[in-house]
Structure 1
Amino acid sequence: MDGILPVYKPSGMTSADVVSKLRYLLQMRRIGHSGTLDPSVDGVLPIALGAATKAVPALMALGKTYTGEVLLGVATETEDLDGAEIARQRLVAPLDVAAIDAAMASLTGDIVQIPPMYSAVKVNGRRLYDYARHGEQVERPRRAAHVYAFTRTAAPVFDEAAGTVSFTFTATVSKGTYIRTLAVDVGQALGLPAVMSQLTRTQSGGFTLAQTLDLRALSRETAPEAAQAHLRPIEYAYPTVPRVSLTAAQWGDVQNGKALLLSQTAPQLALMQGATLKAIYHRVGELYRPDVMFLANVWMNGDTMNESL
């Protein structure tokens, strides 16, 4: 089974848990995911099966969309509600809506983030969360990200009893963007502690929530058929790359990893044998050379074989 399976990850499960469950349900080992979701976050998690695991970097580059909630007036060590509280500033009146919107607008475009201590980023071979759990301090790397859109979706809610203000949002971001940190940065722009109080990933790798497969009700008997019905071909990871059908001679050259002289000008090409993606080639001078090879890919899902991306 080679292809991309859009899965719904419920809160309470890790991304690794989803992969482990699929390995059990489908009885296959070669499975990977395209972008970790925190245990408390639910939403779209594209899963690569078989030969599609080589397409994970391309899937991750397609960007992601989230909906969520920011809570102003409170901060935690993990930047979400799972961690211990480390700061509180009681609010005695609603915040100016224009000020919130301006703070959010200042965080769009190219930005630089410092990953949370409770994250999987590696420093000197160790995960940041490992340092945090042992109470050790370490300099965190600065990481570039791009926020395509970050907007409020409802009027802010002032909780007089709690002394907090919350608002819901939608954000479309590049890979490597920490939404928890985006919430904290909004607070910093407003001079307030802040935390991400809820988050759902509604789109990832070109897939939406409506396209996902929920694994919770599946068994080893029902999972293969359900997965096959939701499976999409590997080329879904390359929606803007032109496709080229290989001749028999060209297919022989591709199998041997040879460069091709093609009458094309695009920087990348998806080389197809019939309806099956076999390789991504990139242009070098006058020739196209191998980039990612999918020689073992066998696309069997006739229902979606010729579906447009």
Structure 2
Amino acid sequence: MVQGGVLNILKPPGMTSHDVVNFIRKIFNTKKVGHTGTLDPAAAGVLPVCVGRATKIAQYIAGTDKTYRAEITLGITTDTQDAVGKILQVTDASAVKEEQFRQVLESFCGHIEQIPPMASAVKIGGKKLYQLQRQGKEVERSPRPVTIYNIKTVWSTGWGTKHPRVLFDVHCSKGTYVRTICNDIGNKLLVGAHMSFLLRISVGQFKIDDTYTLEELQQMSDPGEALVDMDTALSQYPEVLVKTKAVKSITSGAKLYPPGVLRQPDQLPPGQLVRLKDGDTLLALAVTQYERQPMERVVFKPVCQVKING
């Protein structure tokens, strides 16, 4: 019986994230499997998949930063902003200079706003945008704030031709659409563009160098050996050690107050997620709160119970 853990899967191009989930359900003989955020069918790369009890932490892995390697092709615009979509416009981009492109690319670094593409799983009015697009509809979408921590060119070719291609790396916050970055770069350069390739390099602490292919997983005598425990999977969140006397109340969902804290990091900001631990045992994920009444103090409110019984 699988207790729970996270698989660091190398998703191949051509499979949906749900296809991967179904594959792993068969390997582990359990329905309790879920991915941590959709990776487009044409894209490849890191796809953390939660198994067993770990499905409850999926959203907290999905909410971490991500890094990608993407290729942009200038001069061709599609209705999905990537290579699988219908071509909407073809433009001669031979006049675009490499330095001009770099300047535009780097202008996306920092806090920016993106309009979600129609070919996405964002819901508006209870309907997913890609469902509306398939019906031939386009609806107004509000810009969403995202953060680009770093973006840089890796390789490029075809300058002076109609359709130059550039490979670039981007480190970004959750909810960022890399194909929208490509589309918006094309708009800024006045030639149009689309994302012609995408590889996800990391999701939080899950890196591409540590992934398992589905074939490797299938051939393992004990696939459970590939599971990463929940504490390790959430290691990007600070650790708060609790006193033994507070364990029972935490596992019952109660807030952790200062008298129950054994050790905590300095200067935790309000809203910071932390791991509440009893020694090496992960008890819960909690959000940091500041209370002023009856006195000023830092408390931790569990938002995801990992250990149920005290």
For normalisation by structure 2, the TM-score amounts to: 0.86
Q: In the alignment, which residue of structure 1 is the partner of 2:185?
A: 186
1:15-68: CA deviations, max 9, x gaps?
Answer: 111111111111122222112110000000111222322222321232111112
Equivalent residue runs for 1:56-67 within 5 Å: 56-67=58-69
1:52-101: CA deviations, max 9, x gaps?
Answer: 2222232123211111210001111111111111001123x353111101
- How big is the shift at 1:152? 0.9
Q: Does 1:123 align with 2:148?
A: no
Q: Does 1:294 align with 2:300?
A: no
Q: In the alignment, which residue of structure 2 is the partner of 1:32?
A: 34
Cα distance change, pair 26–85 in 1 and its aligned pair in 2 (3 A): same
Q: Following the alignment from structure 1 to structure 2, what is the Cα–Cα distance between the partners of residues 290 and 230?
A: 24
Q: In the alignment, which residue of structure 2 is the partner of 1:51?
A: 53
Equivalent residue runs for 1:1-309 within 5 Å: 1-91=3-93, 93=94, 95-158=96-159, 160=161, 163-219=162-218, 222=219, 225-247=222-244, 249-262=245-258, 263=261, 264=264, 266=268, 268-281=273-286, 282-285=288-291, 286=297, 287-296=299-308
Give the 3-state SS of the residue equivalent to 2:302 in structure 1: strand
- How big is the shift at 1:279? 1.0
Amino acid at match of 1:243: V
Q: Following the alignment from structure 1 to structure 2, what is the Cα–Cα distance between the partners of residues 142 and 224?
A: 48
Amino acid at match of 2:117: P
Give the 3-state SS of the residue equivalent to 2:39 in structure 1: coil
Aligned residues: 291
Cα distance change, pair 138–229 in 1 and its aligned pair in 2 (3 A): closer
5+ residue gaps, structure 1, are 298-309
Give the 3-state SS of the residue equivalent to 1:185 in structure 2: helix
- 2:204·2:236 contact (CA, 8 Å) conserved in 1? no
Cα distance change, pair 70–276 in 1 and its aligned pair in 2 (3 A): same
1:176-195: CA deviations, max 9, x gaps?
Answer: 00011100111111111101
Q: Which has the higher contact order (CA 8 A, sep 6+)?
A: 1
Cα distance change, pair 223–182 in 1 and its aligned pair in 2 (3 A): same
Q: Following the alignment from structure 2 to structure 1, what is the Cα–Cα distance between the partners of residues 301 and 121?
A: 34
Higher alpha-carbon deviation: 148-157 or 76-85? 148-157
1:127-183: CA deviations, max 9, x gaps?
Answer: 1111111112211232111111121112332374xx211111111111100011100
- 1:34·1:48 contact (CA, 8 Å) conserved in 2? yes
Amino acid at match of 1:57: Q
- 1:235·1:277 contact (CA, 8 Å) conserved in 2? no
- How big is the shift at 1:223? 5.0
For normalisation by structure 1, the TM-score amounts to: 0.87
CA RMSD in angstroms comes to 2.1
Give the 3-state SS of the residue equivalent to 1:45 in structure 2: strand
- How big is the shift at 1:211? 0.8
Amino acid at match of 1:186: I
- Percent identity over the alignment is 32
Cα distance change, pair 217–228 in 1 and its aligned pair in 2 (3 A): closer
Q: Following the alignment from structure 1 to structure 2, what is the Cα–Cα distance between the partners of residues 227 and 283?
A: 36
- 1:213·1:227 contact (CA, 8 Å) conserved in 2? no
Q: Following the alignment from structure 1 to structure 2, what is the Cα–Cα distance between the partners of residues 241 and 41?
A: 31
| Off by >6 Å, runs of 4+ in structure 1 | none
